[in-house]
Structure formats: C-alpha cells, structure tokens
Amino acid sequence: MKSNPIVIGINTVYHESSVCVVRGAEVLAFAEEERFNRRKHAKPADIDTVDEIPVEALRDCMLRAGITAEDVDYVATSFDPALRQPPLDEPVTAGSWGHADGERLLLERLNRIPDEVSKVLGADIRDRWVWVPHEMSHAASAYLASPFEEAAVLSIDGIGEHSTALLAYGRDGRIEPLDTVVYPNSLGFVWEKLAKFVGLDEYSAPKLMALAAFASPDRYRETFEKIVQRDGGGFTVDLDTFRFRVEDYEPLEELFGPRRTGGPGAPFEYRYAEVAASLQEMTEEVLLTLAGRLKEMTGSANLCLAGGVALNCVGMGRLLNDGPFDGVFVQPLAHDGGTALGAALLVARQKGRVSGRFVMTDPYIGSLPPTPAQVEAAIAAAPVKATRLDDAPRTAAELVADGKVLGWMQGAAEVGPRALGNRSIIGDPRNPSTKDRINVRAKHREYFRPFAPSVLESEAADWFEFARPSLSTRFMSFAVKVRADKRALVPAIVHVDGTARMQTVSAEVNARYHALIREFKELTGIPLVLNTSFNTYDEPIVYTPADAIRTFLRTGMDALIIDDYLIERDPQ
C-alpha cells in the first residue's frame, strides 16, 4: 500500500457538485462548482444532469494542488451504482426517479461519469476509479474531519443510492456501519415535500425552519406522529401521504388544508407556520431518538453529523444542549458538496497508509486568496471608486457602527452554504431595522428569515446559552438562545423565538474578521456583528473580487471592502 495516496473526490450525481484533492489526510484543495458557474446548487438534481460533472471545480483543484493526472492514485465519487435498489410500487413520473425507464437512464449516465472525468484530466483514469456509498461519504466527511479519535457518526439526508441515513461508529480512522434507514423513510424528503407544499421550492428547508418559530406545534403534533412514526430507535414515513416521486399534494391538503400557491407574493397563512412548527418539533425528536440509539450502540462521548438534515441548525442546537453526547461536531459541508471531501479522505485510508489526521478547524479551504492584482483589475473594470485603507477592520467597524450595510470580502473562500466572515454582508446588530434593510436592499428575501451573529469566541458564553463548547460553533451550526438580558441590546440578530444561529470567531482562525468585531466592540460595547452570506437570493455566495463588486452594484449595500480597499459607487 502506498503512503499518503493522492485521491480526487468528486460529488456529481445529484447537486452541490464539488471536488476535493487530498494527499493522505492532507486536504490540498476543495472547490464547489456553483462558485464558478454562478448557478445555485451548481445544477438541478435531475437524471438528465447525473453525468454533468464539476469541470471548473476539477480544473481549479488540480491547479491549486499542483498535480497532473499522472500523480493521481485514485478518483472517488460519492455514489455506488451497485447499491441502487429496484423501483418501489409507488406513484412516479414517467422517465424520472423511481420509474423503470428513468432508473435505466440513471445507470447509463452513472457509467459515463468516469469517461467524462477522464476527458477533463486528459488521461484515462477508469482503472483508478472507486465508487463510494453516498451515506458513507457523508459520514466520512464528518468523522474524518472531526477533532475526535473515536465518535458515533450520523449521516441523515434525502437519499443516497437507497439509504437515507447511516448510523456508524468511527474509531482509529475507520468507520463501522451499524444500521441504515432506507427509502421511503426519508427525513430530508419530508422537508422538501412540505417546503413545496407551503409554496417554496425543494431547497427551502432553511426558510421553513425560520417560519416554524412563528407558531406552536400543538395543532398538528398528532398528525405528524401518524405520518412520521418513531419506532425502535428509528423512524418510518408514510409514503401514501407524501408521494415523494410525483407533484401530488392531495393527501397533504386533506391533513393541512389547501397548498399555498400564487408565487412568492402570496400570503403565508398562519397554518403554514403551524405545519412548519410541527415538522421542526418532529425532526428534533427524531434526531434525539437516533442520537440516543447511537449512544447506546457505541458508548461514545462524541457525535459527528453530516447530511442535509444536519444543516437544520435548530435541531443541531437541541443535540448540543439536550443530547446525550459531550462532544458534537457538525460538518459545515453537511450538504452533498461535503461528500467529495468524505469520499477522498475515506479512500485514501482504505487504499493507502495514511499518516496524521485532518481536522477542520476552519472552513477557509474554498479557494486561494485573491491577489492584489486580481482585486485591482476588478476595481478597474467596474464603475466604482476605491480607496486604499491603512486599517480595513477598523474602517469596517466604523461603517457598521454608523449604520452602514457593508460587503466584506477577504482571503480564501469559506466552504459550504454559510458565509463565515470571508464572503459576508455585515450589519449593526443594535438597530432593529438592520434586518429589514438587508432583507429589502441587499438579500431580496422573505421578511421572516433571521440573520446570524458573528461573536468573539471569548465572549460567546456571555451572550448565548449553550451547554458545552464545540468546534462547530465556528461554522454557524447551532441555533441557541440569546441570553435574556442581552436580547434588547442586539435585536437585529434575535429571531422571534429568542434564538440566533451563532458563529464564534477566534483570532487564531480568522484574524482580520476577529479584528473587525473587536473594533466594533471598542466603538459600541457589543462584541458581535450581524453576518449574512454575500449574495442575493438568486445567486451563490460571491467567489471572486469581480463577483463581489457585481453583487455590490446590483444591491443596496452602502459600501464594500475587499482586502485593503474601500469600494463605493462612482457618482460619475
């Protein structure tokens, strides 16, 4: 076995297309295709796009890693066609998922993926190809990036090949599967279906989670107990109610009333918030049930989580504060994009002798930092004026303290769906109007969605309630209560239920962002700022200086700072 083999991990079958290159346990590069093609989620999760590989992310990672195809020992993708099960007897759409013709087309397109990757690399890598089970890729992305030598592991999402959740145990760099949950018992699909029921889209679980805080779960609690049942440490979903494979909402309308239609401008009736509240409560109970079962099975003090459901920060907050584990690590790349990382790290260990461990202490592995020449070229190409700053964090803090909405871009890009201080929009948490100003002027999104705080790590416990520390507070993984005596001081980051999705910031991990918040504290006495992702509702997080300037110009942000440049609109 080769020491520290070079492995390319690729996620491409569904969406969130991504690439990772590792040398043993060392991550050389990671990239998400959406950051290049500027399409949210990179591509739709359709059978027709299965073999649409992340070309730009692959080229970028090869360049950043400084390798050629000849250097690559293995290519791992986070899907194993051999695990795909025959279609169930359920309503399906002709030619699509679960339909006999669609499943045949799926296998055809899966078999084309190694050829498509070979074309991009300019070499035949089919003899170095490894298919990695989807849920195992999620699990590896969590455990093999965690600070724990041993841990219980939970992957839970919509669907992989046929499984929808994996319960496992990680120890000494190996992952032992303990149990799986299989389709149609999918918590992720329940969220997608109900998001569409309330007039959103399948990617709107965060919106539904935000809406849940506005209502009580009492009205539909018993209904959810019938259609998503907990049994024997797991859960089962009533397929007749949800009909996942077709756009049929009649059974849900019988339970919850008419589906919301009419587009984005249609009103949200209170019962939609009641549905969301019951869904959220059920999800938290399922997560606690699965965590309790894992605790019994493994006896571990630690838990690692990944999969799309692990992006439910309210549920993660419950696990942190009320769960049975002392240590909780939530992968910031919990969505399918993280499976490229997991597949690569897992195959490196399975196929080679790996020295050391990878611990994701920070999320800033999504790009190289922009060069001064790249920043200056983007400025020169846009109708803006730029001022060179002696102290960018101080200027940023002054602008935010003065009530300005500020775009902030610096260094390497963070990975995953949440901006964590390198591609962020920053605002004053003291002013209750900040939230509405950013929603209307910059983000153009629903009024009921909250914004997160970035807080100095050393002062987080004084402002937020969390039972135990976690590395994943740096990733905005947990929604926790804002301390009651602090809420009136920072109303812009407090959700209607008194919670906030906290990100802790340390000087060791992000010195410039930490300096910005520290300077803001010196000016205001408040050790946190409002932080949201630097994008609008219809685009991914900005990636390059040109992206940042373009988004700044098409929104109502007051100013933009990229590295050491203050950028404003050119009045001419």
Nearest to 287 by CA among 172, 144, 167, 414: 167
Is residue 232 classed exposed, middle or buried when 0-12, 13-18 and 19+ CB atoms within 10 A define those classes? exposed
CA dist., res. 44 & res. 203, Å (int) = 11
Q: Are 518 and 490 in contact (CB under 8 A)?
A: no
Q: How many other β-carbons are positioned within 10 Å of the β-carbon of residue 118?
A: 17
Question: What residues have CB less than 8 Å from 90, skipping those under 6 apart?
Answer: 98, 184, 239, 243, 244, 245
CA dist., res. 377 & res. 366, Å (int) = 21
Q: Are 342 and 144 in contact (CB under 8 A)?
A: yes
Q: Transcribe 333-365 into DSSP letters.
A: T-SGGGHHHHHHHHHHHHHEE--S----S----
Kindly give the pairing relationship between strand 352-353 and strand 2-3: parallel
Q: Are 526 and 429 in contact (CB under 8 A)?
A: yes
Q: How many helical (H) and strand (E) elements, i.e. helices and strands, does the chain have? A: 18, 24
Query: Is residue 189 classed as helix, strand or coil in its secondary structure?
Result: helix
Active-site residue identified among 15, 41, 335, 514: 15
**Rg, the chain, Cα only:** 23
CA dihedral 480, 310, 454, 273 (to 10 degrees): -60
Active site residue 41: no
List the catalytic residues. 15
